[in-house]
Chains A and B, each alone.
Chain A
Amino acid sequence: AQSVTQLGSHVSVSEGALVLLRCNYSSSVPPYLFWYVQYPNQGLQLLLKYTTGATLVKGINGFEAEFKKSETSFHLTKPSAHMSDAAEYFCARNTGFQKLVFGTGTRLLVSP
């Protein structure tokens, strides 16, 4: 089955530290991959996406992700965390017919 796995339900970092949120996908066919962010009491906002082409994808708010086919990974990074980055982050992949399947989410906690 086509799926994505997010390692770590919670990640804690200090303000200014590197953010690394992990996502692995299952499939023999390279998928389209997405990262969404959900701030408290809000809907999902698209951070970035990989479809084809360049494997390093830059998104909003200083986030980026690298598609690594050999590792079936699409990890999300940000060089320096800000307090405003505290939120829930979801990795997702396409499954055909414009549908998406989501990972279980990672809550990012940022301490001063």
Chain B
Amino acid sequence: SAVISQKPSRDICQRGTSLTIQCQVDSQVTMMFWYRQQPGQSLTLIATANQGSEATYESGFVIDKFPISRPNLTFSTLTVSNMSPEDSSIYLCSVADGQETQYFGPGTRLLVL
């Protein structure tokens, strides 16, 4: 399976600011995804990061709040914009292997004060 890294691993941010999270994969993959895991909750899909085109967002998530870039087949970024304490979560990226299986990065733990 692919090896996935995320930066930063954790951060504490002030409300109103933005944070960009990076996801790096050690091999080329077609499908990359971004998830949010709110405290004590399960995972919710934010969007599919598409290489060469705009990300596809799930219901309840918008590009202005969560802009995503996918410049190539090994890298993606998720920005959490104009943060509020409600954005405090773990943000995870994942990749699909083409056989319906996803592998996850270690996550970015975000606390917004």
| Interface residues of A, Cβ cutoff 8 Å to B | 32, 34, 36, 41-46, 49, 51, 90, 94, 97-105
Contacts and interface: CB of A to CB of B under 8 A. Distances in A.
Interface residues of B, number: 23
Contact of A98 (B92, B102, B106): B102
Interface of B: 1, 4, 31, 33, 41-43, 45, 48, 92, 94, 96, 98-107, 109
A43 B9 CA distance: 11
Contact of B106 (A34, A36, A42, A51): A42
B40 to A, nearest CB: 9
A55 B55 CA distance: 36
Contact of A90 (B42, B45, B48, B101): B42
Nearest to B4: A43
